[in-house]
Structure 1
Amino acid sequence: MHVRHSIQPGSPVNVIDVRFDEGNQIFTTCTTSGFAIYKAWPMTLLRKRDLQNGTLSIVQPMQTTSLLFLVGGGRSPRYPLNKVVLWDDAVGREVGELEFREQVLGLAVRRDWLCVALKRRVVVFRFVNGVIERYREWETCINKRGLVAVATAHNSTLLTIPGKQLGHVQLVRLPPCPPPPPPPLPSVSSPAPFDTTNSRIPGSFIAAHSTPLTTLSVAASGRLLSTTSEQGTLIRIWDAFTGKLVRELRRGMDKARFYGVSFRGDETEVCVWSDKGTVHIFNIFDRDAEGNKSSNRQSSLNPLTPFIKLPKYFRSEWSYASYRLPGPTAHIALSSALGSAGDNPRSIDAGEAEKCVVGWIQVPVRVEEEFVEEEVMQYQLLALTYSGCWYRLSIPSSSVTSSLVSSAVSGTALTGQVPPLASPPPSIAGGAVPSPKDTRHPHRTPSAPRSTTSLPLPSSARPHRSSPTRGKKGEGNVDSEKRGRECVLEEFRRFGRWDGWA
């Protein structure tokens, strides 16, 4: 008789909420013990507050200032659910509160502005000479998810909220966002300012979907917005100034619950994450800034659509890169792996998917070109899970994946042979998964080749060894294509518990 024992952490982490600030420079998390503020990368605990007599459901920072907006929640709410409490962390106390007649469902902030989402309306406040004033409110359809998004870049004006009809988006123009003061934390480069003060929109509503919205995101400049719905398969990118559809992207075939969409800093790509536990990366435009063709995957039958009337599915675009986050049961093995060594990486089951939040950052990396080594800035992803896990992911180059064609059409593989990758996808210097030494020093660039790593990593991040092709013709090349589309785990940390995880 075989008995299986499940291993559980001695003191589990109960992360109630985790979210980035507008520029992904810091993130906040709240647990049953209180809340903390971290620098996003390299991950550093900046401040923590142990709170008694209740828990929080939202801790929303305002840019990189000391002002935070707190909302009670959890099993034992610290504050009534219909209040937003203003907390000044510089003095460590409450400095004000906003009370409503119904539960607060969501928040969005911009420099000196606060947007509060309620069940059927969104209320906007502004700070004038240190005093908060009510600006205006707009009616919406039933907004149980508390959807609201606002552009945060210099001179941006866009506020997006659900429309009065299900699946619609209402576009609101606020006064232009003023230039930011010098930030106390190292800043991340942002897109060039875009003057929207004289921009006009043909209509203030976009009929985005026929089913209720699940996410609503805005690019920092206010030029683009993204929507997803309960249909759970499509991500739509819209031009905020013309109201036209820019791109329709497909996450997969089966229904999923989208958790969020995030625009890259230069607004050329988006990442999407859902309850499937997978992060997907898409190109937004047909060509990038260097003129390379979009690397989003498409059906092999897509070239025939001008000549044959085919279902819309065959014109869809899929992500050019993705990463599957390990499930909660794999985090223990992954954590212990960072302090162990071995010759053969062992497989860690992905397990059950968990909720996460993902954001873009820029990381300096060293690259070698024509025998000259220089430092360049590379876009990477940070994924924060509700079990207190922090992942830094590098993304395959678009120039490598642009020649890859999707081998899956309605669940069946191509009968033809897919061209194999000429070389492994480029990544940061050497591309090795950080060793335990590298993890303690996040600034250190890994130098060991990826194939010699001794860390037992999840199957989605482990290096793949070539093996003889077996089975159907082209099957080995399809595997190579899939590997070329996988993001690489560069660093893993833990957060959310103040006794040594920071």
Structure 2
Amino acid sequence: MNLARRSITQTNPVQIFNTQFDADCQIFTTVTPVGFAVYQAWPLKLLRKRELNGGTLAAAVPCHTSSLLFLLGGGRSPLYPPNKVILWDDVAGVEVAELEFREKVGGLACRRGWLAVALRRRVVVFEVHETVIRRGEYDTCDNPRGVLAIATGSYATLLAIPGRQMGHVQLVQLPPCRPPEPLGPPPPLRPAKPSTSTVRHSVSIIAAHESPLTTLSVTPSGRLVATTSLRGTLVRIWETSNGKLLKEFRRGSDKAEIYGVAFRPDEKEVAVWSDKGTIHVFSLTLAGGSNRQSSLSPLAPFLPLPKYFDSQWSYAQYRIPAQAAHISLSSTSSVRSPATDLAADEKCVVGWIKVPAEIEESVQEYQLIALTYSGGWYRLSLPLKGSLVNHSNVSGIPQDQYHKASSTSRQRTSSVSSINSVPDRGKGKERDKGRDSHDLILEEYRKYGRWDGWG
């Protein structure tokens, strides 16, 4: 009997319609065909789940770590009409309010006490307390992606939306965001407001790009805004106080769809991810010495070189393994099935977290959490910048450095899943190798999206 060689794969692959972090990346929500769930971002933990009957959701947007969620209907059998936003109290398990519009809702952005809803050519702002009050409406250019961003830090005021002209950004000032409610007894002295609340914004429009905007991101303080366009090659960082271009980063040389940009909370670095399945990290420091540049860039003041050669490239990156949701157990390498959806595997959402440093637990370091729509949860640490000095300015045009298979091989345990069935080379060797390259270091990999104990 001659049997064809087949790979053993998941019989029921994870289907995730949407996944989103809260403003502080402490929790994230995920929407599946049967309902939605709320997870702790790190350590990964299922906090609560909600199975829904009668339809599916397009998104469940968390408002910080409160029990309030904003639900949007979507999918083949929407639970709610696409022109409605449902305010859901997940502790009580009931709808507390609904907002109805005359057209489909494109996107949402929220902070404590405020909600902004993006429609096709306008953005509507609401104040959300015991009641929901409509506070303003702003015209935009055609915005089919529902692009908008809101500053979520204490006393921040910024709302960034598309302007009336294509590629422009409109800066709207809202009332200051109230700080989070303190846990336990109140402090004897009320903390002073940060200096960012006194910053005056002299501009309300930034001419960011010549093509349509695809993403907008702001820092928690509202001091910086990041923009990307339909071309998908450049990420521009602007100062909101004066509208000046602070940095321009090049994601790559070929066109891509940039899914998002995430600022590190201390505003020193920024992460960018796209449909190429790669996460890029850029330094925002004034010198920007960590970012890579062409070896010809010092000649730019003396020779009429194209702007391409003066670009800043990411100093670190990570390639999401294409086989993350399709693991082969029959051979030493994972083989993607032709039926596997590539776009679903590579689409991800990225956020910054703080974890204790390995050298000294009292010191905390920033790391990245990447959530794929195929159910992969990745915790990534940054390489040491000192080890990157010798790698900069080596070639005329820097190329993306993707994570090697050995960096993703992990020992099979009950809490960490293996991505590739290759021999484990040891955690220490893996980390040392990552410290000497441009690759982000895979610290932990797990699966989420299933509610039967696997997630």
Q: Which TM-score applies when normalising by structure 2?
A: 0.87
Cα pair 2:203 2:241 within 8 Å, conserved: no
Q: Which residue of structure 1 aligns with residue 188 of structure 2?
A: none
Distance 1:93 1:310, change over 3 A: same
Mapping for residues 398-417 of structure 1, pairs under 5 Å: 398-410=385-397
2:232 and 2:12 map into 1 onto residues whose CA distance is 35
Corresponding residue of 1:90: 91
Match of 1:12 in 2: 13
**SS at 1:15 equivalent:** coil
Distance 1:141 1:22 in 2: 26
Q: 2:408, 2:75 → 1: CA distance?
A: 40
In the alignment, the residues of structure 1 paired with residue 289 and residue 258 of structure 2 have an alpha-carbon distance, to the nearest angstrom, of 23
Give the corresponding residue for 1:213: 213
1:324-339 residue pairs with structure 2 within 5 A?
324-327=319-322, 329-333=323-327
Asked if the contact 1:153/1:221 (under 8 Å) is kept, the reply is: yes
Show the 5 A alignment for 1:254-403: 254-287=254-287, 294-327=289-322, 329-333=323-327, 346-348=332-334, 352=342, 354-367=346-359, 375-403=362-390
**Pairwise CA distance, 1:365:** 2.6
In structure 1, give the amino acid aligned to 2:169.
Answer: V
Aligned-residue Cα RMSD (Å) equals 3.0
Q: What is residue 421 of structure 2 aligned with on the other side?
A: none
Taking the aligned partners of 1:495 and 1:400, their CA distance within structure 2 comes to 33
Paired amino acid for 1:295: S
Q: Distance in 1 between matches of 2:78 and 2:181?
A: 34
1:27–1:183 distance in 2 versus 1, CA, 3 Å: farther
Q: 1:259 to 1:374 in 2, by over 3 A?
A: closer
**2: CA distance between counterparts of 1:234 and 1:183?**
42
Residue 172 in structure 1 maps to residue 172 in structure 2: yes
**Equivalent position of 2:108 in the other structure:** 107
Equivalent residue letter for 2:200: R
Change (3 A) 1:30 1:207: same
> Does the 8 Å CA contact 1:27/1:39 hold for their aligned counterparts?
yes
Q: Find the aligned partners of 2:253 and 2:136 in 1 and give their Cα distance.
A: 41
Quote how far apart the aligned CAs of 1:454 are: 11
Q: 1-side partners of 2:368 and 2:198: how far apart? A: 34
Shift of 1:299: 0.1
Q: Percent identity?
A: 53
1:61 aligns to 2:49 (yes or no): no
CA distance in 2, matches of 1:350, 1:453: 26
C-alpha spacing 1:90/1:374, structure 2 compared with 1 (3 Å): closer
- 3-state SS of the aligned residue for 2:327? helix
Task: Kindly provide the amino acid, as one letter, of the partner of residue 366 in structure 1.
Answer: E
In 1, the alpha carbon distance for the partners of 2:237 and 2:131 equals 36
C-alpha distance in 1, partners of 2:75/2:216?
24
Aligned letter for 2:257? R
The aligned counterpart of 1:199 is 199
Residue 331 of structure 1 and its aligned partner are, at CA, apart by 3.3
Deviation at 1:82, TM superposition (A): 0.3
Asked whether the equivalents of residues 439 and 491 of structure 1 are also in contact (C-alpha less than 8 Å), the reply is no
Q: For 1:412 and 1:58, how far apart are their aligned partners in 2? A: 35
**Which of 440, 444, 452 matches 2:426?**
452
1:451 is displaced (CA, Å) by 4.4
CA contact (8 A) 2:171 2:204 kept: yes
Q: Which amino acid aligns with 2:79?
A: R
Q: Answer whether contact 2:416 2:444 (CA < 8 A) is retained.
A: no
The answer on whether the counterparts of 1:330 and 1:348 sit within 8 Å (CA) in structure 2 is no
**Count of residues paired in the alignment:** 429
Q: What is the one-letter code of the residue matched to 1:126? A: E
Aligned-partner SS, 1:384: strand
Q: What CA distance in whole angstroms lies between the structure 2 residues aligned with 1:54 and 1:282?
A: 41
Identify which range, 375-384 or 28-37, moves more after superposition.
375-384
- The residue identity in structure 2 corresponding to 1:78 is L
Give the residue type in structure 2 aligned to 1:324. R
Instruction: State the secondary structure of the residue aligned to 1:484.
Output: coil
> 1:435: how far off?
3.8
- CA distance 1:376–1:349, shift in 2 (3 Å): farther
Deviation at residue 179 of structure 1 after TM alignment = 1.3
User: Is the contact between residue 451 and residue 463 of structure 1 (CA under 8 Å) also seen in structure 2?
Assistant: no
* Contact 2:416–2:446, Cα closer than 8 Å, also in 1: no
Does the Cα contact within 8 Å between 1:434 and 1:490 map onto a contact in 2?
no
How far off its partner does 1:400 sit? 2.1
Q: Which position in structure 2 is the counterpart of 1:127?
A: 128
In 2 relative to 1, CA 261–142 (structure 1 residues): closer, same or farther, beyond 3 Å?
A: same
Cα displacement (A) at 1:231: 1.0
Alpha-carbon spacing, 1:302–1:105, altered in 2? closer, same or farther (3 Å): same
Q: Which residue of 1 aligns with 2:189?
A: none
Give 1:404 deviation, angstroms: 2.5
Moved more, 398-407 or 99-108: 398-407
CA–CA separation in structure 2 for the residues paired with 1:53 and 1:21 = 27
Q: Distance in 1 between matches of 2:310 and 2:108?
A: 36
| Equivalent of residue 490 in structure 1, options 422, 438, 443 | 443
CA distance in 1, matches of 2:175, 2:427: 52
**Shift of residue 409 of structure 1?**
2.9
Q: Distance in 2 between matches of 1:409 and 1:454?
A: 33
1:260 and 1:462 map into 2 onto residues whose CA distance is 27
Letter matched to residue 355 of structure 2: V
TM-score normalized by the length of structure 1: 0.79
SS in 1 for 2:387: helix
Task: Flag the 1:398–1:4 CA change in 2: closer, same or farther, 3 A.
Answer: same
Task: State the distance in 2 between where 1:412 and 1:208 align.
Answer: 26
3-state SS of paired residue (2:386): helix
Partner amino acid, structure 1, of 2:450: R
Q: CA deviation at 1:408?
A: 4.0
Cα deviation 1:226-261 (Å, max 9, x = unaligned): 000011100000001110000000011111100000
Distance 1:230 1:148 in 2: 15
Unmatched 5+ stretches in structure 1: 185-191, 288-292, 338-344, 368-372, 414-430, 442-449, 456-460, 465-479
Name the counterpart of 1:474: none
Displacement, 1:5? Answer: 4.2
* Partner Cα distance (1:259, 1:97) in 2: 28
CA distance in 2, matches of 1:77, 1:238: 38
Q: CA deviation at 1:495?
A: 0.9
Asked if structure 1 preserves the Cα contact closer than 8 Å seen for 2:325 and 2:375, the reply is no
